[in-house]
Chain A
Amino acid sequence: MSVETIPNPATQDQTEATATPVDQTATLAKVVARVREDCRQAPAEYLKEAEVRHGGE
């Protein structure tokens, strides 16, 4: 089997999971807006909660 004949699961799954590039762009824009909004919610508290207390402290 040559390299070229291997199906690309990434492309296949992407095709199944998505509609059009226009939809993708719009959906991504919504996600980016949500991330931008969420990252402003109590970031210092989030970082503290996510601190790894490995035990050396």
Chain B
Amino acid sequence: MSNACQRLVGLETEYAIRLHSADPSAAPPRFRLYEALIASLSRRVLAVPAKHFKEGVFTATGGAVWFEAERPAAGGGLIEGATPECRGPREALVYQRAQDRLLAEAAKSAATDGDLVLIKNDRDAFGNVYGAQENYEATIATGWQLVGWRIGLTLLFPLAVVTWIGMALSIVLTFCYFALAALCYLPIQLLLGGKRSVALLLFGSDLVEGREHCIHVPVWLEATLQFATRLLTAPLAVALYLLIQAAAFARIRRQLLPFLVSRPIIGGAGMLDEEGHFRVSDKGPAINCVTGFGGMVGDRPIFSMGHFFKAVYADAWFAPRNYLTLYRQRQRLQIALGDSNMCDVAEFLRVGTTALVLDAIEAGALVRPPRLTRPIRTLHQFCADPSLTATAKLHNRTALSAVQLQRWYLEACRDFLAAGDSEPSEVACEVIRLWEQALDQLDPWHPPAGSPPELFGTLDWVTKKYLIDEAGPEATWEERKKIDIRYHELSPEGYHQLLVPTGMTSILVSADEIERALRSAPANSPATTRGHYIREFARGDQPVRANWQHVVIGHGWDAKVVRLAEHGRQPDAGAFPTSTRQPAPGRPPGRL
């Protein structure tokens, strides 16, 4: 059987936090809600703290839950769930559903003053954009481009070191500031017994009132440090960006782009915009560039390379050996153009079609793929057109609609599978079948008035649009927007959840599969090893911390480090890495 649709896939989902309480003005900072959620989650599954600059935990299934905030001291933030590294789209869907359920249950029983629920969407009513990201293991380059990538990394290293030194200096300066602030505040404390407003200004609420926001600096200093960090890392960012543009995933980005730009008609979650117009995609209209670091300078890219930047300036700073991992040929391709799906089929197809197209591209099986003249403009046109009649101009002076573009890729993938030496996997066949079914229903797209269209319950944007339309012409923008957002609420009152008992939502994942995914990590993946060590040692005497690269057992110089980089990277490898030395029960492993 072929390896199509068997690559490592990981899904990241940002969940908005909604607290319904009697006194909304007394709502606690988001970090407190995150802490309550994690306490509740830890009563359900084994979880260990993340070894990361970001606040988070890893669970025994190999996945993670993070607190995500641009500026935590300002009181904001949301919950990010990351599935373990999965083999293919079906496994990714199962673990995504397990994660949704786990977080929904943890939120329900979290100890908060009010009802806490999570909303799995991509944009709130005030224009804040967040949401879903997909990660695929892929070949970063071949031939001279791979050589160029590696030479570029080597040339970049001195600049990275200079940046690390600058970062270290900024930390020293921050400590100096606190020492100076303490000296200034000492007379106030001695003479007046302290003054809260001055203390808050100098030290921030974390130090004055206890841990609230997960960052121990005042709001103004946080903003200053953030600005200084961006300034400090700018030369490194520019150099890395140029290197990425020249050598990283160049062919994949070029050949995948028209597919991704037209993919919202399958994977889009739909959205009511500020003017009351319905959009096919929630996140698509906010995308403003093809490749970028994601949010660094207001960029919202289709291909997000922020993880490379973090790897160079942050991860490698903490552990310089991590820099070497960037030299590997197989790297993480992150796609930031994608909506948080509630429908199983939409989520399965969003990931499955992308994985299959990636397989075809890496095999060199796409012959003269379409090339868009203006990809971002085309994406916005497609997203703004629920009638699916808009067309995109191609370099060969023809024009294709989103459905036609998707059909081109469908046929190319079908030919790719048919030309293989071995039979395609069941998952690949399932992707092709559901993909074709969806496109057949969308072409031509004439949804019946007053009754649910064929793809109701299968594609999110179709389902949501029907519900919004059914609210009637008298419904206000706020009422229709509430449908848009509450559709994604992970609670029995969520509108998509209300639809499940009707039997009109296509369900691909069974309750048993979700139960299994809540208990064990995927096989043949780095998550297998991570989950194994968390299960074995989380209840032991020594502290356990984890991240995507390591599991660390113990602390200080005696800590044992399990490196996950080479575990479960091959689709045909065994269920558990044989190279891992198995420690005796209750004893941590040696350095592997």
B473 near A: Cβ within 8 Å? no
- In the complex, what residue of chain B is closest to A2 when comparing beta carbons? B429
Q: Is the CB of B128 within 8 A of A51?
A: yes
Q: State the CA gap A31–B478 with chains docked (Å).
A: 19
| Contacts known (A8-B433, A10-B507, A56-B76); A39 close to B501, Cβ less than 8 A | no
Which chain B positions have C-beta within 8 A of A3?
Answer: 429, 432-433, 436
Q: State the CA gap A4–B526 with chains docked (Å).
A: 34
Quick one: which of B429, B481, B510 contacts A47, CB cutoff 8 A? B481
Interface of chain A: mostly helix, strand, loop or mixed = helix
Q: Is the CB of A6 within 8 A of B426?
A: yes
| Contacts known (A36-B470, A54-B128); A24 close to B478, Cβ less than 8 A | no
Q: Is the CB of A35 within 8 A of B125?
A: no
Q: Is the CB of B76 within 8 A of A53?
A: yes
B102 near A: Cβ within 8 Å? no
24 contacts between A and B (CB under 8 A): A3-B433, A6-B426, A6-B430, A10-B434, A13-B507, A17-B507, A19-B503, A24-B503, A31-B499, A35-B471, A35-B498, A44-B478, A46-B482, A47-B124, A47-B481, A48-B24, A53-B74, A54-B76, A54-B78, A54-B130, A55-B69, A55-B74, A55-B77, A57-B74
Report B406-441 CB contacts with A as 1/0, cut-off 8 Å.
000000000000000001101001101110100000
Q: State the CA gap A19–B70 with chains docked (Å).
A: 48
Q: How many residues of B contact A (CB 8 A)?
A: 63
B495 near A: Cβ within 8 Å? yes
Report A9-25 CB contacts with B as 1/0, cut-off 8 Å.
11101100111000010
Which chain B positions have C-beta within 8 A of A56?
Answer: 70-71, 74, 76
Interface residues of A (CB under 8 A from B): 1-4, 6, 8-11, 13-14, 17-19, 24, 27-28, 31-32, 34-36, 38-40, 43-57
Most buried by B among A10, A13, A18, A56: A10
Q: Is the CB of A54 within 8 A of B483?
A: no
Q: Is the CB of A10 within 8 A of B470?
A: no
Which chain A positions have C-beta within 8 A of B70?
Answer: 54-56
12 further contact pairs, Cβ within 8 A, besides A6-B433, A10-B506, A56-B76: A4-B433, A10-B344, A10-B458, A13-B508, A14-B507, A18-B502, A28-B499, A39-B479, A46-B486, A51-B16, A54-B128, A55-B75
Q: State the CA gap A13–B345 with chains docked (Å).
A: 12
| Contacts known (A27-B502, A32-B470); A54 close to B69, Cβ less than 8 A | yes
Q: Is the CB of B124 within 8 A of A52?
A: yes
Q: State the CA gap A41–B501 with chains docked (Å).
A: 23
Q: State the CA gap A17–B76 with chains docked (Å).
A: 40
Q: State the CA gap A34–B467 with chains docked (Å).
A: 11
Q: What is the count of residue pairs linking A and B with beta-carbon distances less than 8 angstroms?
A: 151
- In the complex, what residue of chain B is closest to A14 when comparing beta carbons? B503
Which chain B positions have C-beta within 8 A of A14?
Answer: 503-504, 506-507
Q: Is the CB of A9 within 8 A of B479?
A: no
Q: Is the CB of A43 within 8 A of B478?
A: yes
Q: Is the CB of B504 within 8 A of A43?
A: no
| Contacts known (A9-B507, A10-B507, A13-B506); A50 close to B130, Cβ less than 8 A | no
Q: Is the CB of A1 within 8 A of B429?
A: yes
Report B458-496 CB contacts with A as 1/0, cut-off 8 Å.
100000000100111001101111110110000001010
Q: State the CA gap A56–B219 with chains docked (Å).
A: 11
Q: State the CA gap A57–B75 with chains docked (Å).
A: 9
In the assembled complex, how far is the CB of residue B588 from the closest CB belonging to chain A, in whole angstroms? 37
Q: State the CA gap A29–B70 with chains docked (Å).
A: 42
Which chain B positions have C-beta within 8 A of A44?
Answer: 478
Most buried by A among B345, B458, B482, B499: B482
Quick one: which of A9, A11, A35, A47 contacts B495, CB cutoff 8 A? A35
Report B60-92 CB contacts with A as 1/0, cut-off 8 Å.
000000001111111111100000000000000
Q: State the CA gap A9–B181 with chains docked (Å).
A: 64
- In the complex, what residue of chain A is closest to B425 when comparing beta carbons? A1
Q: Is the CB of B429 within 8 A of A6?
A: yes
In the assembled complex, how far is the CB of residue B412 from the closest CB belonging to chain A, in whole angstroms? 15
Q: State the CA gap A50–B17 with chains docked (Å).
A: 7
B144 near A: Cβ within 8 Å? no
